[in-house]
Amino acid sequence: MTRSAEINPRGAKPTRITAGRIGLYAFLISAALFFTVPLYVMIVTSLKTMPEIRAARIFALPDHLDFSAWKVAWAGACAGAECAGIRAGFLNSVLITLPSVVISVLFGAINGYALSFWRPRGGNLMFGLLMAGALVPYQVFLYPLVRGFAALGLYNSLIGIVIVHVLFGLPLVTLLFRNYFVTIPEELFKASRLDGAGFWRIFLEIMLPMSVPMLVVAAMMQFTGIWNDFLLGLVFAGRDNLPMTVQLNNIVNTTTGERLYNVNMAATILTALVPLAIYFFSGRWFVRGIAAGAVKG
Amino acid sequence: MTYSPLLLAGAASLALTAPLKAQDLTAEVFSSWTSGGELKALDAIKSEFEARGGTWENASVAGFENANAAFQNRIMAGDPPAVKQLIVGQDPLEFIEAGLMTPVTDVAEAGHWADVIPASILESITYDGEIYLTPVGIHGESWMFYSMPAFEKAGIDGEPESWDEFFADMDALKAAGITPIAWGGQSWQEAKVFNMVLLTQVGLDGFMKIFVDKDADVLSSEGVKSTLEIVAKMRGYVDEGAPGRNWNDATAMVIEGTAGVQFMGDWAKGEFTNAGLTPEVDFGCAMAPSTPGMIYIGDAFGYPKLEGAEAAQKLMAEVVMDPKVQVEFSLNKGSMPIRTDVDKSQFDVCTQKGLAMLEAGTIVPEHAITITPEQVGLLTDFVGEFFNTPDADIDEAMEQFAEVFE
Amino acid sequence: MARRQKKSFMPALAILPTWLTVVVVYIGAMVWTLNLSFTKSKLFPSGAYVGFDQYERLLGSSKWIKAVSNLATFGVLYVLGCLVIGFCLAAALDRKVRFENAFRTLFLYPYAMSFVVTGLVWQWLMNPVLGVQATMQGLGWESFSFDLLTSRDYAIYGVVIAGLWQGSGLVMVMMLAGMRGIDVEQWRAARVDGIPAWRVYVSIILPQLGPPLAAVATLLTMGVIKTYDLVIAITNGGPGTATEVPAKFIMDNLFQRQNLGLATAAAIMLLMSVVIIVAPFRYASYIRAKRKAGVL
């Protein structure tokens, strides 16, 4: 705590306990309670046995801790040879998500930078069309895209699914960066141009370092979206590259089959662990002064 | 490895066109079965397929809509799996009409399927004289499961024989502080209840006249009206937590004895047996009161056109229709074998009741078999709306019901 | 003049890949969609043109009308609710609180969770016989009522609550990132003037967060239009068709009801309505940007 206090000296000193501070914490804690209730239900359910779950007391603590559902969710435990837990798709999810996030965020940053500062001819039109495209439920686009990818030989491949994620991610990342760069003072850009810096130099040496908070936010959003994607991965990745959400769906989704709620809950939490870890540890980037400092520097 | 003569012949004729892949017995099997019992059932087919020299590649996607999305897109990409799990009837019709499926008529003839599967089912897998599907089991879906302890507590002795008795029993349950009907408030479940009531009111013939002939007279008959009245009356016997409820949660209520009855397909037995309950001891399985028969839905496999997969597809068709495989499959899935010539001794009391109806021929296909997927959707919407509108007008509803079939 | 042109070559090149995407993927697919909406395509694309029949059917379908009106109700409440809650959470976290990482993760975790299962949990929570209502009544608060989902009229508000739970954290993160970019000097000045913190956030900070706010509002709107998982998992469109939404309507017709023609017509209608609503706003901000550029 003391270290971060050194990094961000701001606001009123927090040491005094005032009515305002109490109100602030009361607000935060009650909000946290609202957000936590579903997670609480999920965790206690995942630790119960099916007879306990059938008793339908969703807030009750488990009689005794039973972690078997977590084991089944992660590694699978049924008799059939095809019965794998979500472990099976973990590596694939990583292999799909990392390049997709890096490439799409990079494109988004370049687009936002070019659109905000250089304003190339037709840029606004392109942006408008991109936004309009993002307003159509993407499921409608699947047929023609599948046809195209099959013709290009990109169907059922890791490269194919990465390209698909980049294509569908472009509107979001472009929007984020365009609106972020708009807030950066134009003078900064003009001064660099007068110094003779070109398109890429300004981008790499000035704009990119200044957009760290937005890079983090964009990467977080893309990571979450792509990590949780199910349908695109299912359709484009091919059987060898299926992401773990496909396994998750196979565990939790059924029409006429039995539902093991404890396993379902555990599998869902396990699948979300990587994005959750990112949220938690990205805290160091949510620090005041990075952007502001860069503006002055 | 044991090859049937037919398979060798098939493989030999194939060898002319695709010499390299003639002996390839690898099949990618695409199903939406991923839960416990379903997987074990699939495993019964898989192990026999492998025992006969096949190589099984599993491509399962849970949930009908997800599985359909993936499958349709694979067809679009020209990359279909060798085997696709389907529902008999209208569902695969579009694929067949588009020439995307391979018939297995030769396997059917060699195996004399016509002698061992009920005529009505044979009809629903035959398109333009060719057999395209291999049915593996049928589910009865007009069951009424009930909690024996709950019935006892409410002083109900025996299953209701008529809807009047049924509602009297429901009143008794209510009086005993038990939720009478464990209702799964999702439209597709409600549509199944509607159908089972409809069958009791219009009879086997009337049911077929509605769903196959779209007969206007039956559609506007007293039977439809009384169906709507009975379904409407059920609104008063469900608990307030019903809307949106999964059938599994409704089954749990019957298992716990907090609710009396549940209308559901025989797959619900899986939840009962998983909970360690014994049929006819802890829970009862009956058909809808006063029903003349049973509504069924059939599980089957179809064979998308795929170069080089013909031998594996034929092998799969044989395996699916193998009497032992059919028994093993149905024991795990809670369904009934399609073949009438199999050993039925291992099935529980509930399934025996269904098998008796199957043998007597008093079965009718559910809507997914007889009407188009679009009409299935419209019917589902209609029933869902009707049940969930407490002041719905019966005459208006009759008109809306008839519109589904236009 | 020649020098200027030479310089503007690189920016155009830099956005070329996106242009290609827009033209080939988005416009291409939209033209394809538009074309199919005039056909009677069922499971597969067909060339049998039927004019505006699919659109007529769509407009004659009470289910579609219900879906669109639900989208409007849900959209307004969800976007506004997320913005307000998200901003308040961000402002609170910006007040240099202890355990900021833990709080932030708690507010954001719903965003990372697959809705197939968390939706079921919300269904349970809002179920009057097992959720919050039953618990409160069990504790002796007999009149407590929380049963939105079971009512045809209120179920959509139940979906909004779960939506707010899922979406507010995202707004919080975006706002927090924006707040951390604001000059420290302004805080010093405000403190010297003795302005209370909440007023600083509302009157000084909020106006400066315009662009990120616009971005997050656009993102939420896109999310609203594609709302599918949320509804499937919580209500499956029910009771009856009370919580039907357009994306579900489209998905059902694409992959279950084998009605490609109707699904594409619905997608086009949806796009058109959004463009008609959004275009004036975008045009206004475009004009404003022009003016700003002119002043500079």
Q: What ipTM describes this predicted complex?
A: 0.87
Return the half-sphere exposure (C-beta side, CA atoms, 13 A cut-off) of residue C156: 23
CATH number of residue C77's parent domain: 1.10.3720.10
Closest residue in C to B67 (Cα–Cα)? C255
Summarised one tens digit per residue, pLDDT across range C35-80 is: 999 999 998 888 899 999 999 999 999 999 999 999 999 999 999 9
Instruction: Give residue B8's pLDDT.
Output: 34
Of B39, B69, B267, the CB nearest to A83: B39
Confidence of residue A31 (pLDDT cuts 50, 70, 90): very high
Of C43, C238, C251, the CB nearest to B185: C238
Are residue B261 and residue B192 in the same domain, yes or no?
yes
Instruction: Give residue A140's pLDDT.
Output: 85
Are residue C103 and residue C197 in the same domain, yes or no?
yes
Are residue C128 and residue C169 in the same domain, yes or no?
yes
Are residue C76 and residue C207 in the same domain, yes or no?
yes
User: Which residues in chain B are closer than 8 Å to C240, comparing Cβ atoms?
Assistant: 187, 381, 384-389
The answer to whether C238 contacts B374, with C-beta atoms less than 8 Å apart, is: no
Are residue C162 and residue C103 in the same domain, yes or no?
yes
Are residue C194 and residue C104 in the same domain, yes or no?
yes
Are residue C125 and residue C228 in the same domain, yes or no?
yes
The answer to whether A217 contacts C246, with C-beta atoms less than 8 Å apart, is: no
Of C42, C129, C238, the CB nearest to B388: C238
Confidence of residue B224 (pLDDT cuts 50, 70, 90): very high
Are residue B237 and residue B254 in the same domain, yes or no?
yes
Determine the CATH number of domain A87-296.
1.10.3720.10
Are residue C231 and residue C295 in the same domain, yes or no?
no
Are residue C152 and residue C233 in the same domain, yes or no?
yes
Residue C77 to residue C160: CA distance in whole angstroms: 7
Residue A85 to residue A87: CA distance in whole angstroms: 5
Residue spans of the domains in chain A: they are 16-66, 87-296
The answer to whether B35 contacts A139, with C-beta atoms less than 8 Å apart, is: no
User: Between helices C62-93 and C155-179, what is the axis angle to 10°?
Assistant: 40
Res. C292: pLDDT tops 70: no
Are residue C285 and residue C212 in the same domain, yes or no?
no
Show the CA angle centred on residue A129, arms to residues C15 and A137, nearest 5°. 115
Instruction: Give residue A287's pLDDT.
Output: 58
Res. B251: pLDDT tops 60: yes
Res. B326: pLDDT tops 90: yes
Structure tokens at B365: 């296909």
Any C CB within 8 A of A110 CB: yes
Res. C226: pLDDT tops 90: no
For B324, the domain range is 5-140+296-363
CB count within 10 Å of CB B391 equals 5
Res. B152: pLDDT tops 80: yes
Split into its structural domains, chain B has a count of 2
- Any domain includes C4: no
Res. B12: pLDDT tops 60: no
Split into its structural domains, chain C has a count of 2
Three-class secondary structure of residue C247 per DSSP: helix
| DSSP tag of C205 | I
The answer to whether A28 contacts C97, with C-beta atoms less than 8 Å apart, is: yes
Taking residues A247-255, report their average pLDDT.
85
Taking residues B199-228, report their average pLDDT.
96
- Any domain includes C275: yes
Q: pTM value?
A: 0.88
Confidence of residue B371 (pLDDT cuts 50, 70, 90): very high
Confidence of residue C293 (pLDDT cuts 50, 70, 90): low
- Any domain includes C283: yes
Any B CB within 8 A of C127 CB: yes
Are residue B343 and residue B376 in the same domain, yes or no?
no
Are residue C83 and residue C217 in the same domain, yes or no?
yes
Instruction: Give residue B23's pLDDT.
Output: 64
Any C CB within 8 A of A132 CB: yes
Instruction: Give residue C288's pLDDT.
Output: 75
The answer to whether A41 contacts C121, with C-beta atoms less than 8 Å apart, is: yes
Are residue B273 and residue B306 in the same domain, yes or no?
no
Taking residues C202-230, report their average pLDDT.
87
Are residue B390 and residue B345 in the same domain, yes or no?
no
State the nearest Cα–Cα gap between A29 and chain B, in angstroms: 30
Are residue C237 and residue C265 in the same domain, yes or no?
no
Confidence of residue C275 (pLDDT cuts 50, 70, 90): confident
Contact by Cβ (8 Å): A95, A158: yes
Lowest mean pLDDT among A252-256, B98-102, B202-206: A252-256
Average pLDDT over chain B reads 90
For C280, the domain range is 259-296
User: Which residues in chain A are closer than 8 Å to C170, comparing Cβ atoms?
Assistant: 221
User: Which residues in chain C are closer than 8 Å to A9, comparing Cβ atoms?
Assistant: 184
The answer to whether A265 contacts C117, with C-beta atoms less than 8 Å apart, is: yes
Of A56, A234, A254, the CB nearest to B35: A254
Instruction: Give residue C294's pLDDT.
Output: 59
Confidence of residue B11 (pLDDT cuts 50, 70, 90): very low
Are residue B248 and residue B387 in the same domain, yes or no?
yes
Are residue B233 and residue B315 in the same domain, yes or no?
no
Please indicate whether residue C15 or residue A283 has the higher confidence score (pLDDT).
C15
Q: How far is CA C293 from the centre of its chain?
A: 30
The answer to whether A253 contacts B66, with C-beta atoms less than 8 Å apart, is: yes
What is the SS3 assignment for chain A?
Answer: CHHHHHHCCCCCCCCCCCHHHHHHHHHHHHHHHHHHHHHHHHHHHHCCCHHHHHCCCCCCCCCCCCCHHHHHHHHCCCCCCCCCCCHHHHHHHHHHHHHHHHHHHHHHHHHHHHHHHHCCCCHHHHHHHHHHHCCCCHHHHHHHHHHHHHHHCCCCCHHHHHHHHHHHHHHHHHHHHHHHHCCCCHHHHHHHHHCCCCHHHHHHHHHHHHCHHHHHHHHHHHHHHHHHCCHHHHHHCCHHHCCHHHHHHHHHCCCCCCCCHHHHHHHHHHHHHHHHHHHHHHHHHCCCCHHHHHHHC
Of B241, B244, B386, the CB nearest to C235: B244
Instruction: Give residue A164's pLDDT.
Output: 96
The answer to whether B61 contacts A231, with C-beta atoms less than 8 Å apart, is: no
Contact by Cβ (8 Å): C82, C220: yes
Bridge partners of B140, per DSSP, are B296
Any C CB within 8 A of A41 CB: yes
Are residue B217 and residue B107 in the same domain, yes or no?
no
User: Which residues in chain C are closer than 8 Å to A252, comparing Cβ atoms?
Assistant: 114, 116-117
- Any domain includes C79: yes
CATH number of residue B203's parent domain: 3.40.190.10
Closest residue in C to B96 (Cα–Cα)? C43
Confidence of residue B279 (pLDDT cuts 50, 70, 90): very high
Res. A184: pLDDT tops 90: no
Taking residues B293-314, report their average pLDDT.
95
Any C CB within 8 A of A294 CB: no
Any A CB within 8 A of B253 CB: yes
Are residue B193 and residue B275 in the same domain, yes or no?
yes
Are residue B127 and residue B157 in the same domain, yes or no?
no
Are residue B152 and residue B135 in the same domain, yes or no?
no
Confidence of residue B226 (pLDDT cuts 50, 70, 90): very high
Lowest mean pLDDT among A97-106, A133-142, B318-327: A133-142
Summarised one tens digit per residue, pLDDT across range B125-144 is: 999 999 999 999 999 999 99
Instruction: Give residue C215's pLDDT.
Output: 85
Instruction: Give residue A81's pLDDT.
Output: 44
Residues 6+ apart with CB under 8 A from A134: A171, A172, C222
Are residue C142 and residue C216 in the same domain, yes or no?
yes
Summarised one tens digit per residue, pLDDT across range B79-132 is: 999 999 999 988 888 899 999 999 999 999 999 999 999 888 898 899 999 999
Confidence of residue A286 (pLDDT cuts 50, 70, 90): low
Are residue B111 and residue B208 in the same domain, yes or no?
no
